Amino acid sequence: SQTIHQWPATLVQPVGSPLSLECTVEGTSNPNLYWYRQAAGRGLQLLFYSVGIGQISSEVPQNLSASRPQDRQFILSSKKLLLSDSGFYLCAWSVVGTGNTIYFGEGSWLTVV
Amino acid sequence: AQRVTQPEKLLSVFKGAPVELKCNYSYSGSPELFWYVQYSRQRLQLLLRHISRESIKGFTADLNKGETSFHLKKPFAQEEDSAMYYCALSPLSGGYQKVTFGTGTKLQVIP
């Protein structure tokens, strides 16, 4: 069966420091991969999605970037964190043929101080 | 453009009372609609899809194209139904299709 792993679960970083959140999917090939941010009252905001290795699409302009170095690996990064980057980040995947059902990781809490 | 609206941020009901979580959408083509649920300290997960026409944990949702709605209903609320619920929309076609989520409704079932 397919599983998704996301880490770290919690992270406290100072302003101006770099960020790296990592996500891997097991049990499937060529998944679509996503990074979402979940904020109270604002729902789920799609940040990035990827349909293949090296293919990244950004949904909103921001201080973050994403990379997909391997088929089932998705990384969310920042060179210099801002206070406004604090939030709950979710990695997710889907596969064509599953009717666009999205499967989420457990999320990462980022606090920028 | 596709848009999903969940007008209620918080819905409180007593145990045993009927539940209706509202979802309205805007999309010019044929949509696929979903409800996702997030229980406390658990990951966000799919609850049901309109094309499956199934009942999950007593919940049902009917796509009303005339009213562009996909409300989630349950006749008798249980305490374990307390959670965050998100409505989502995707174009009904093959390949990658963007999934748009609503802002979510927190359901609180009062014992």
Omega cis (within 30) before A8: yes
> Token pair for residue A105?
């990781």
Q: Are B98 and A103 inside 8 Å of each other by CB?
A: no
Tell me which residue has tokens 């609320």: B77
Q: Are B103 and A43 inside 8 Å of each other by CB?
A: yes
- Burial grade of B16 (CB within 10 A; 0-12, 13-18, 19 or more): exposed
A28–chain B nearest CA distance, Å: 16
Among chain A residues, the shortest Cα distance to B85 is held by A43
The stretch A58-74 carries a mean pLDDT of 90
- Terminal alpha carbon distance of chain B: 41
> Token pair for residue A44?
């789920």
Q: How far apart are CA B35 and CA B85, in angstroms?
A: 7
pLDDT at position B93: 66
Q: Is B104 on the interface with A (CB under 8 A)?
A: yes
The stretch B13-39 carries a mean pLDDT of 94
pLDDT at position B105: 95
pLDDT band for position B91 (cuts 50, 70, 90):
confident
Strand partners, A35: A48, A91
pLDDT at position A36: 93
A106–chain B nearest CA distance, Å: 5
User: Do A85 and A45 touch, CB atoms closer than 8 A?
Assistant: no
